[in-house]
Amino acid sequence: MSTPSLDLDTYVPHVDHTYDPRDPEVALYVDEVSVRFGGVQAVSAATIAALRGQVTGLIGPNGAGKTTTFNVITGLESPTSGRVWLGNEDVSALRPYKRARRGLARTFQRLEVFGTLTARDNILAAAEFRRSWSRDGSDARATADEIVERVGLSHVQHERVDMLPTGLARLVELGRGLATRPKVLLLDEPGSGLDVAESEALGDLLIELAKEGIAVLVVEHDVDLVMRVCDRIHVLDFGRIISIGYPKDVQADPAVQAAYLGAED
Amino acid sequence: MEFVQLLVVGLVTGCVYALSATGLVVTYTTSGIFNFAHGAIGMLGAFTYWQLTVGWGWPAALALPAVLLVLAPLFGAGVERVLIRPLHGASVDVTLVITLGLLLFLLGAANYIWDPATSRVLPELFTSGGTSIAGVNLSSQQILIVVVAVAVALALRTLFSRTRIGIAMRGVVDDPDLCAMSGASPARIQQLSWAIGASLASVAGILIAPKVGLSSIQLTLLVINGYAAALFGRLKSLPRTAVGGILLGIVVEMYPVYIAPHVPGFSTTATELTKAVPMIFLGVLLLFLPSARLRTSTAAGRIAPTVPGLRQSLVGGVGLVVVAVVLTESLSSDNLGIATSVVVLAIALLSLVLLTGYSGQTSLCVLTFVGLGAWAMGHSGHSVLGLLWGALLAGAAGALVALATARLRGLYLALATFAFAKGMDEAFFYFHLGAGQQLEIARFRLPGIDTSSASTFFLLCTLVLAVASVGVLAVRRGRWGRQLTALNDSPAACATLGVNTTVTKVAVFTVAAAMAGFAGGLYGSSRGIVTNNDFAVLGSLALLLAVRVGGINTITGAVFGSLTITMFPEIQKHVHGLPDKLQLAYLLTGLAAVSVGRDPDGLGGQFSRLGHHLRGLRTPPSSSPTGIPELEEARLVHS
Amino acid sequence: MAAPALELRGITAGYGRIEVLHDVSLSVPSGTVFALLGPNGAGKTTTMLVASGYVRPTAGCVHVAGTHVNRVAPENLAKAGVCRIPEGRGIFPNLTVNENLRMFTYSSPFSTSEVQEKSFARFARLGERRNQLAGTLSGGEQQMLAMSRALVSDPGILLLDEISMGLAPKIVSELYELVGQLAQEGISILLVEQFARTALAVSDYAAVMTGGRIAMVGQPADVADFVNEAYLGGAA
């Protein structure tokens, strides 16, 4: 999933990035979602499509509404208007656990780990949840061991998670999500708190997961990581999607630069 | 005419509820801490007033301002400074333990100072006079209550809209940090609100005491009825709270006359529910509370001591039985009876370890389930199946409570279980086990075992405790235990991993209640006679706090809780000069709770930490690094 | 030469076990505007929290006008002239505009009516909505109300944390007009901004933070080039 290389001179600014929620390629579709808290419009008519087998980035300045969007997708928060589609099914009316059972997993920016359990037990618990609702008879312990290895937590698997540094705790959340064998994986700043090597390994893992067919939607501030792993990027600003495109396009988009750096005088 | 008369009486009662609830709401909004001790503070105010006027002969004109404007506010401010301010940022669970501890402590203290065996009467402020308006008779006291309520409402309105400090009090509700940024100290504002709260609780206590009598428990529980009014105002709106209080007052007075007798076929039951009306009101309000979002991260500082492995817990279980065998040889049959009580209660408290310790569901009604178990046992003759019926009945009740409270957590769950316990206390146990209704419970028989022998029965109960302990630990180590712990640590994460949190919650409530019910059957069998006092709501509070002090996520905690609560009255019998039976348990448990309540793991956690320390292990931090608000700042960017 | 309005020396600070600021030093000379820039999560807000007494540094010291203030409570710092306008809306949403202004008198030398006069003179729109709940104001109006505190509290040092967040460009420029005016009156200002260009236009000095450290300090023009690199990975 390398970034399509584009010649900036022949670059066409308006590649069509609109999709239909019923398109089989679309694993997750956020359909004109708006959220209002009291007097504050946190998200306004945001439309996001995450495709199977791709890493989709969701970036934007602080307070742009990224985490709120994730909460709406997972059902933790109700939108004022708009719908959420998962695998071509409208799941807007479903409670969070039902969405999870349809293949949606996520991590949290403000960690929601099971702090009093060990790293492995966090992942094992998630694998057991998966087994109990899917009744697929999978071996939860084997799954847990495999994922511990895969996300690179073997060396700390028997430590309680509230003893781990934030970066590793984020990996625990990622592993926990993977243990439910998701079709769509939402990652809220997975790279923060990781060192350079860990961040690189995370990037490789995300690309790998996408290759396996998972639709990955990632909120991340580490620009290098985003540019490296994302196939397409949505830019959220004041709760609006101001730009959608391939990484290079987004980076060159004047609207994005204005959102990050302020308007040119 | 009777209708109008009742309406007026209801209005007057409602004014008292409104006064009490207003104080509660003022403290809650500015400090974010629900003061469970509010009722006890009101009780203390009334007793102090009695002491000044009746005891020392002060004129009311002097005693009233002394209590309401000096002593009560000073007390409220002192409580804020000593207990509440250090709680800044603490979890709901911790604030609950501290204020419940204060409630018990104040009750214990009041009983110590004013011996409950002596009867006291607090005269009305105006004994004579009264008037008749449009054929409705009003006593001077009734008029006074309404006048005071209106005056307080006007005074608060002026405070909150006209004065800078009042505006700052509203500002603190919005944003305490911004208050500090503007130069107004949130701590001082909070202190003022606690002073006002204590004063309002005392007003309510002094006004209602002449009607209900000067009984510490009665007064405390009566002021607690005001909680329903506070909830009507969603714990934030003062006008709605006032309306809630008056509505509640009217419903309370009208119910026995106009509603209960007219329930076709169930008029007796309906009449028995009369005293529980405020708690039913509270329960209904909780049902209609808007759904809370699935949130709240890990309670900071939970250490959750290492769970013993199967081998270790088996060794512990066997050890327990061995100790019991030794005890049967050395204890008198009286003392064996006490030891049996300790063991049986410990089984009931194991249910709290499972429910509150592991899965984080607060329950203030453990004794209600025990009582249901005992009641079922009492209607089963000598059959050992009574234990099963008890477990089933209590389990069913637990499932109902869990279903009704599926959406509630933290404070609201605590309030709901409290309402359930108090309601059952007043509507069920009072009529079925109350004065003159003691239930005689025959001891069950088992083939080949002489259960009537004190030592055999003791050994049998100990065996049950050992098996239950090993079982609870096995659950904790297993799949379900992981799920319960996960639910405690982060409900939101559980839901996004496909867990139906409602089902999990109902399941754990049912199992825990059934355990308590089973223990209730044993309790009844061991006692032979039970009364409603055995299952009073305050007993549930004391037990929860005692387990919390011992460590709510450990077996040790359950045993500690049962041991202390059972032993206090026994110790008292052997120490001279200590009067009433309950006070030491309340006084000391309350004191222990307010002193160690800030540590969510209790003494068990402290021992565990000490053990870790001695063995040179790393101990978890006292405040969890996960879930701090400004965490995004901790991000490292590599450019 | 007068002592700097604000000086941080070797500040290390964080939350619990997580260290966010590592040896941060900066100095805002009296009467100047200092812009603190950097990507999300670089530690800018934490720096502000340290300067205003909300986060106690684990090492290093904070000086306000030459006085060591490490252990002074936030409300007392506020009264002593450290005025912080927080990220988001620095207003009380359930108080009316007038009541909000009255709250500002806690740290202001002026009376309630003087405070109202001054802020309505600067922001006429607030005067029109004086009895409205602040939470019902538009985002721009709310930020104007928040900025009124800076206007009336006669601060020794003004800390502005992302005052442009979530606001339309027109309102941002109106707010920055006020910042410029305050600067001209000689008020020392430390401001944190995402919008580097906007901030640099009004500042005398600027610093860039990354990863909890000061990556560079200098004149606005020098800092501008460095910023593009730090924010957008060099594409801009």
pLDDT in tens, B305-342: 778 888 999 999 999 999 999 999 898 888 999 999 99
Q: Kindly state whether B296 is in contact with chain A, defined as any CB-CB distance less than 8 angstroms.
A: no
pLDDT, average across residues B606-627:
55
| Domain boundary pick from A181, A198, A222 | A181
Q: How far is CA B569 from CA B495, B564, B582, B588, in A?
A: 45, 9, 7, 12
Nearest residue in A to B295, CA atom: A76
Distance CA B558, CA B565 (A): 11
Which residues in chain C are closer than 8 Å to A230, comparing Cβ atoms?
Answer: none
Shortest distance, CA B306 to any CA of chain A (angstroms): 10
**Domain co-membership, A54 together with A143:** no
Q: Which residues contact B212 (CB under 8 A, 6 or more apart)?
A: B218, B219, B222
ipTM reported for the complex, 2 dp:
0.90
How does pLDDT run across B429-466, given as a tens digit for each residue? Answer: 988 888 777 888 989 988 888 888 999 999 999 999 99
The pLDDT, as a whole number, for residue C66 is 86
Query: Is residue A38 located within the same domain as residue A96?
Result: yes
In a shared domain, residues A238 and A264: yes
> Is the same domain home to A198 and A98?
yes
In this complex, the chains that touch A, judged by 3 or more CB pairs closer than 8 A, are: B, C
Chains A & C: contacts with CB separation below 8 Å: 72
| pLDDT bracket for residue B303 (50, 70, 90) | low
| In the predicted structure, residue B467 carries a pLDDT above the cut 70 | yes
Cβ within 8 Å, pair C92-B171: yes
Q: What would the mean pLDDT of C155-180 be, rounded to a whole number?
A: 86
What residue of A is the nearest CA neighbor of B628?
A: A110
Write out chain A residues lying below 8 Å of C44, CB-based.
none
Structure confidence at residue B478 as a pLDDT band (50, 70, 90): very high
- From the list B304, C19, B626, B639, the residue with the least C-alpha distance to A107 is B626
B292 vs B275: CA distance, rounded Å: 30
**Chain B touched by C56 (CB under 8 Å):** no
* Weakest-pLDDT range from A34-43, A223-232, B133-142, B287-296: B287-296
What was the pLDDT predicted at C168? 78
Distance (Å) from the alpha carbon of C29 to chain A's nearest alpha carbon: 25
Q: Does B494 touch chain A (CB under 8 A)?
A: yes
A76/B495 touch (CB, cutoff 8 Å), yes or no: yes
Q: From the CA of C53, how many Å to the nearest CA of chain B? A: 10
Same domain, A97 and A194: yes
pLDDT of residue B2: 83
Distance from CA of A237 to the nearest CA of C (A): 8
Structure token digits, residue C127: 């005067």
pLDDT at res. B218: 86
A64 touching chain B per CB within 8 A: no
Instruction: Give the pLDDT confidence score for residue B395 in this predicted structure.
Output: 98
> Are A226 and A148 in a shared domain?
no
Average of per-residue pLDDT values in chain B:
87
Which chain A residues contact residue B493 at CB under 8 A? 108, 112-114, 173, 176
**CA angle at C57 for the pair B616 and B184, rounded to the nearest 5°:** 125
B631 and A109 within 8 Å at the Cβ level: the answer is yes
Domain carrying residue A165 = 112-181
Is the minimum CB–CB distance between B601 and chain A shorter than 8 Å?
no
Buried b (16+ CB within 10 A) or exposed e, B507-526: bbbbbbbbbbbbbbbbbbbb
Q: What is the pLDDT of residue B629?
A: 31
Contact C196 A252 (CB under 8 A): no
For residue B132, count other CB atoms closer than 10 A to its CB.
8
Mutate to test the interface with B, among C98, C103, C161 (most CBs of B within 10 A): C103
Single out the residue in A131, A150, A181 at which a domain terminates. Answer: A181
Region B359-371 average pLDDT: 94
C-beta atoms of B498 and A100 within 8 A: yes
What's the mean pLDDT in B50-74? 95
C95 closest CB neighbour out of B167, B621, B637: B167
Q: Which of residues 82-141 of C touch B (CB under 8 A)?
A: 83-84, 86, 90-95, 99, 102-107, 112
Q: Which chain C residues contact residue A223 at CB under 8 A?
A: 39, 231-233
Write out residues 156-175 of C within 8 Å (CB-CB) of A. Answer: 162, 164-166, 169, 172
CA B498 from centroid of its chain's CA atoms: 33
Decide if pLDDT at B635 tops 60: no
Question: What is residue B301's predicted lDDT score, i.e. its pLDDT?
Answer: 47
pTM above 0.90, yes or no: no
pLDDT at C173: 85
Residues A208 and A168 both lie in one domain: no
- Residue B71 pLDDT exceeds 80: yes
Chain A closest CA to B187's CA: distance in Å? 27
DSSP helix, strand, coil percent of chain A (3-state; round to 5): 40, 25, 40
pLDDT above 80 (res B425) = yes
pLDDT of amino acid C166: 73
On the question of pLDDT at B636 being above 80, the answer is: no
**Closest residue to B297, CB basis, from A112, A116, A133:** A112
- Angle, helices A119-134/B479-489, rounded to nearest 10 degrees: 110
Cβ contact, residue pair C232, A38, below 8 Å: no
At A265, is the pLDDT very low, low, confident or very high (cuts 50, 70, 90)?
A: very low
B624 touches chain A (CB under 8 A): yes
In this prediction, residues C79-94 reach a mean pLDDT of 86
Strands A215-219 and A184-188: parallel
Say if residue C120's pLDDT is above 70: yes
Query: Is residue C116 over pLDDT 60?
Result: yes
Same domain? For A98 and A207 the reply is yes
Are C86 and B177 an interchain contact pair (Cβ–Cβ within 8 Å)? yes
Chain B CB contacts of A113 below 8 Å: 298, 489-490, 493, 626
The sheet that has A215-219: what strands, in order across it? A104-106, A184-188, A215-219, A55-59, A232-237, A240-245
Boundary of a domain, candidates A164, A181, A198: A181
Asked if B181 reaches chain C (Cβ–Cβ under 8 Å), the answer is yes
Q: Are residues A150 and A189 in the same domain?
A: no
Q: Does A150 share its domain with A25?
A: no
pLDDT at residue B492, as a whole number? 92
pLDDT band at B424 (very low <50, low <70, confident <90, very high): very high
CB contact under 8 A, A163 and B639: no
CB pairs under 8 A between B and C: 111
| CB < 8 Å from B in window 11-40 of A | none
B144 vs C5: CA distance, rounded Å = 59
Which string of DSSP letters, residue by residue, matches B439-480? EE-PPP-BTTB-TTSHHHHHHHHHHHHHHHHHHHHHHHHSHH
Mean pLDDT of B45-56: 95
Report yes or no: C75 at the B interface, CB cutoff 8 Å: yes
E-strand spans in B457-551? 529-530
Interface test with A, best of B303, B485, B496, B628 (most A CBs within 10 A): B496
The minimal CB distance from B493 to the residues A114, A128, A221 is found for A114
Asked if A130 and A224 sit in the same domain, the reply is: no
- When CB atoms are compared, the residue of C87, C139, C231 closest to A260 is C231
Q: How far apart are CA C86 and CA C95, in angstroms?
A: 18
**Helix, strand, coil percentages in chain B from 3-state DSSP, rounded to 5:** 75, 0, 25
CB contact under 8 A, B482 and A117: yes
CB proximity B564 to A under 8 Å: no
* pLDDT tens track for B614-623: 666 554 443 3
* CA-based nearest residue to B535, from B377, B428, B404: B428
Q: What is the pLDDT of residue B626?
A: 34
What rounded mean pLDDT belongs to chain A? 88
* Mean pLDDT for chain C overall: 87
Of A39, A260, A265, the CB nearest to C136: A39
Residue of C nearest to A247 (CA): C235
Nearest to B182 among C78, C229, C233 (CB): C78
Q: Which of A128, A162, A193 is the closest to B634 by Cβ? A: A193
The per-residue pLDDT for range A45-89, each reduced to its tens digit, is 999 999 999 999 999 877 788 999 999 999 999 999 999 999 989
Given a contact cutoff of 8 angstroms between Cβ atoms, the answer to whether A91 and A99 are in contact is yes
Choose the closest CB to C236 out of A62, A166, A261.
Answer: A261
3-state secondary structure B11-53: HHHHHHHHHHHHHHHHHHHHHCCCCCCHHHHHHHHHHHHHHHH
Q: Is B162 on the interface with C (CB under 8 A)?
A: no
pLDDT digits (tens, 9 = 90+) for B95-109: 999 999 999 999 989
- Give the count of Cβ contacts less than 8 A between chain A and B: 143
pLDDT grade, residue B262 (50/70/90)?
A: confident
Number of domains in chain A: 2
Which residue on chain C is closest to A220 by alpha carbon?
C40
* pLDDT reported for residue A192: 82
Q: Which residues of A131-162 are buried (b: 16+ CB within 10 A; e: fewer)?
A: bebeeeeeebeebbbebbebbbbeebbebbbb
Q: Report the pLDDT averaged over residues A94-114.
A: 94
Q: What is the mean pLDDT of the segment spanning B241-252? A: 94
Q: Are residues A7 and A96 in the same domain?
A: yes
A8-40 tens-digit pLDDT: 444 444 456 788 888 889 999 999 999 988 667
Q: What is the mean pLDDT of residues A114-141?
A: 94
Residue partners of B614: CB distance under 8 A and separation at least 6? none
The answer to whether the CB atoms of A113 and B638 lie below 8 A apart is no
**Confidence bin at B560 (pLDDT 50/70/90):** very high
Q: How far is A100 from chain B (nearest CA, A)?
A: 5
Note whether A117 contacts B499, CB cutoff 8 Å: no
- Average pLDDT on A250-263 reads 77
Q: What is the CATH number of the domain that holds A54?
A: 3.40.50.300
Domains for chain B: give ranges and CATH numbers.
Answer: 2-288 (1.10.3470), 310-618 (no CATH)
Q: Which of B177, B183, B632 sits opposite C41 (nearest CB)?
A: B632
